[in-house]
Structure 1
Amino acid sequence: MNHLPLLGPSSSLVHCSVSLLLSRSPAMELLLSAIATDVLSRALYMVIQKYRRCKAEETEQKLQRLQRVLLRIAATVEEAEGRHITNQAMLRQLEMLRQGMYGGHYMLDTFRYRGHGGDEEVSGGRAVPLPRFSSAKRLLSFPVSGNSENMQTAVIDAESVKKLEKMLDGLEKMIGDVEEFAMFLEGYPRICWQPYNAYLMLDKVMFGRQMEKETIINFLLQPEGASNGNPGVLPIVGVARVGKSTLVEHVCLDERVRGYFSSIVLFTGDDAGSLAALKGSGVIKHQTRTAPSCGRSLVVIELAWDMEEDTWRKLYSSAASSMGHGSKIIITSRAEKIVALGTTQALRLKVLPQEAYWYFFKALAFWSTNPDDQPKLASLGMEIAVLLNGSFLGANVVGSLMRTNFNAQFWRRVLQCLRDFRSKHLLMFGEDPTDLLRRDQPVYIWRMARTRHVVKICKVYEKRSPQHGDGVPKLTAQDILTGRVTHQGKFCMVSWRSRIPPYYTYLASCVSQTAECSTVNKKRPRKPRV
């Protein structure tokens, strides 16, 4: 009965509308155009929504396939790492599996975490360091009538899906070849299992250098050919704090190496200008009198930089006359010049790839917490990992700070401080602060608390951790970063205590000064407007 009045007085209005439609007036053309546009927009919207849902479902299925493949690869890698593999081809294949696993996890985490608000809330719309992979639920979720930024996001999302498909195809082909690899593994003896994938144990084992370790052991255990019997020399080159000493220490602790050499001696010296100074710093790492290894010795020489050619010639001549047949020498240094001292191809240690570094940093930052339960924190963590530029020291310092407070605002503050820290050094010195520290250049430390004082790190150095903590300052990097403690003038702080051999304590000599007297907050002079 509510519709009956419309049939009465309003019938004239209906007749007018019909007559308007039958006429060819401009008003009629505008009405028809509006109706057609609305119908077309609604139909196009329904088609696009259906397309979005299909694409999101397809992407989600690909992500699930990727997760299943990664589980199979992780199981194979863990099984292989529990065996003494001596075949170089199998070691290379194992390294390919590791890199594939790191890359797959990085891709999976990128799709899962990058669309959870970390970028928008912190970046303020600026470009982020990582590729902007969106989560599966947000793929192609922008309106068609959007601006150029939305169109660019569409292209990037399409590229993300292509990269996902390429990664998935590559890993599935890789896992197809693993059956033969797993069969060969059965022929190698087992070793003591090290839970290197466990979050709670990751800071107690060496990460990311398994291939390099086996390469060094293969050199050490390889018998000398029909030469003059002089000891073989392996140079190991890498930037500061990339893991040279840690790698060599783990090699020297390996039972295969200890059973092969009767003695292992370590020489250190920041300035190897004289042979006497180098000889005086020898530390016996291992010594035995068993018959199989009698006479063979391993000498490790750790240098900060290079060694004079005359010094090396005298040292090598002395070593050749005093060391038994089959003895070996390892030299580690930051200087590329030591490559010429080797009798075999030098081993160059590089920083971890971003995919492997994120795998390492994620475990340190989240500890026993599952990152999937806190995707917003994981999104922030991915950006923080990029800013750390592959630094093991930075990962441990910042990771330990982050896991003290699983709060998004706290992690967002850490990310913002790191961004400002990097941008200031790029502005002042034209280099990333991590690269400056690797070259022993001073940097200004970032701080979460607002203060008038600016702290400059003059030098980072390491010393073997004493048993009772004698001579080690109580002040830590976390005290300075969080602002719990303030210092005036010169002081020394503990950056990090390593829990793996050689158990170094990393110290930093610092100086604090007022912001007005420092150059860290000085701005570039503005150019006059024309």
Structure 2
Amino acid sequence: MKFEMLQSAVVEELVSRVAAFLEGRYKLQDDVEGKLQRLKELLVEIKIVGEATAGKEIKNKNLLKRLKEINDVVRQAGDLIQAIEPRCVERANASPSFSAFKLFRTAIGVAAKVLLPCAEDVKQLSVLVEKLEGITSKFGSLIALLSFDAESNKPRSTGRCPTAGLPTNLHSLVGRENEKEGIITFLLRKEPHGVRNVPVLPIIGAGGIGKTAVAQLVYNDERVKSHFSLTMWVCVSESFDAFKLTNEILDQTDSHTGYGGFKSFNKLQAILKEKLSKEIFLLVIDDVQNETGKEAWDRLKAPLNSGKEGSKILLTTRLEKVAKSMGTMNPVKVEGLPEEEYLSLFEECAFGGAKLEEHPRLAAIGKKIVSELEGSPLAARTVGALLQDKFDCDHWERIYESKMWESELDQDF
């Protein structure tokens, strides 16, 4: 979402109004003068952050939370400054010592305004300064969040990069033997005689947790390759296009690649049905991100049911609704990696080839971060890459304090 910081001009005006109290136009009590001076300094720092975020699309939830906190406190400061002057002047006019001071100031041609805030005003001013001190003390992590959000907002091609059966990231393959063996057992077993529809096993889990990696492990296992006469892999991502997917599946049935020229969906399905009727096939449908609707899935599935007995389908999705609507059995749930495997993966991503014993303080910070990443391999790679930029405790602490991964995990990374 596009977040609107208070406009720079608004904060600038507030700085000017605070400065007016400090430039001789008012007589100040010493303790009030110190607080106003600090308020002015803090507002100048906040103005810089406001200029840095102006007009930017902010996606990171933690960053949005921090910026909203800043907005709220600045508004409170504006309200207090707006209310404090008339109250102070009113109290000053009622003060016994005000008349002589007013006559003196009038005699030398200077407007007479005496800042004598009430106890409640001083208390509110102290609270505001304390809040802003707390916010600006975390500007290091705020800057890290801004950098992280800017990186995540860089233009990308629409949709996720298509996946394939061959694994591209070995990091995602650790610690998945149990899931792998369970799925292979399903694939190799004989179904009861007379089953008409090809069985569909969903693999479900949060984005980045390793569903595709598990499917790739299974797809490339020698037992699976020798069992099926034909293996195929398609990636759906955002758009479940039955015509396009049928084309992609058909392209993998033989070396002939001219099916893309057909405009008739009926013709494509007839050809696919004929070819699959001769095969015991395995089809992986990866990354189904949206509910397809029964009609679209039934259209794609129609020729798939012609496969020989023993044919199977795996699909990966993060949505339980998809698993229920497309699957024919209970899903395999892929969860975060076990602690030991995950710590090993994170160390590799964050430290690279460096030795942990050479960086004990960084290792301690890293363990705190690991405890919050929910075992996600993608989170380990993403955060690890940021940490690897600088082997510095302050840098790592800023990233830890920013909790920049939380919004990404909320969005299924």
TM range (shorter): 0.3 to 0.5
The structure that is strand-richer by fraction is 1
The two structures have a TM-score, normalised by structure 2, of 0.48
The structure that is helix-richer by fraction is 2
Higher relative contact order (CA 8 A, sep 6+): 2
